[in-house]
Amino acid sequence: MKNEISVGPAGWVKLVDTMPQTDLDLAVVQAARTSNGAGSKGLESDTSLIRYLMRHKHTSPFEMVEFKFHLKMPIFVARQWMRHRMASINEYSARYAAVPDECAIPRITDIRTQSHVNKQGSDLLDFPGDEAYLFVDQMKLIYKQAYLAYTQALKAGVAREQARMLLPQNMYTEFYWKIDLHNLLNFLKLRMDRHAQKEIQDFAKACHELISPLVPITIKAFEDYVLKAVTLSHPDTVCLRIMLESESTLEEIGKKQGLSKTEIAELETKFRKLCINPYAIKPQNKKREDI
């Protein structure tokens, strides 16, 4: 079974250990049925239970399964990764050892423009060629100069903990990362989302690919009820009801309900995921009960 996936120019994700080492879905079932002392009741019953737990957000049984990864990624990705605090981490230290001569340089086709909608995001559009080439060339030049200055500082006797200040954020780092299944699924929901930075999406998708064969029932439930699900808030359902009963536009209804422009845009996206065209809904003849 695959336990390592390469990501980017020199990065990778390795699954080095699990707890328990076998029957990981069964461990979830056993934890859930501990109150009555029962374990497995067969594949059909166990599958139904796991899907019930996922659907109703009974999370503690999923915390009984743990994964330990060894990851290698650029520092700017690792700093986002480590914001997810429900995990144990031990990272390569540039205080104790010299930093290897490895740096993540993106391809020209991977250069993105700043998003005009999401202040912290980017868009993969037709980026002007000259600007993209210049950006990558400057990155290569700065990296070479920085790493040369770093190695010269080490040779001159400057402490490693200070010499590392010269290095850019796209240098690689390594770390071990141990996390339980519940918190890993929360992480994957956030970091595989299309709004997450592309580079961290790639590493998160690698984690997802590695664990999927080990907890297939849980992953299927996660994909059905969380990852690919569409959640409607109370204001969302009110707007949908009003749209079905009137000829007002989604924007008009949203404003009357006190929704911001962002909330209205997000609601439109939800409707389209549900194959509902918010501009083609015709009012119903009969009034519906309040939702």
**Known catalytic residues?**
191
| CA-atom Rg of the chain in angstroms | 24
Task: Find all residues with CB under 8 Å of 283, minimum gap 6, and list them.
Answer: 244, 245, 246, 247
- For residue 235, whether the previous peptide bond is cis, meaning omega lies within 30 degrees of 0, is no
Angle 181-191/198-211 helices, nearest 10 degrees? 140
Backbone angles phi, psi at 14, to 5 degrees: -120, 130
Does residue 187 come out as left (phi exceeding 0), alpha (psi in the -120 to 50 range) or beta? alpha
Residues in the chain: 291
In the chain, DSSP assigns E strands to 4-7, 11-19, 66-74, 88-91, 113-114, 122-123, 172-180
Q: How far apart are CA 132 and CA 134, in angstroms?
A: 5
Specify the amino acid at residue 106: P
d(CA 74, CA 90): 16
Phi-psi group of 275: left, alpha or beta (phi > 0 → left; psi -120 to 50 → alpha; rest → beta): left
Do 237 and 271 touch, CB atoms closer than 8 A? no
CA–CA–CA angle 115, 117, 123 (5° rounding): 30
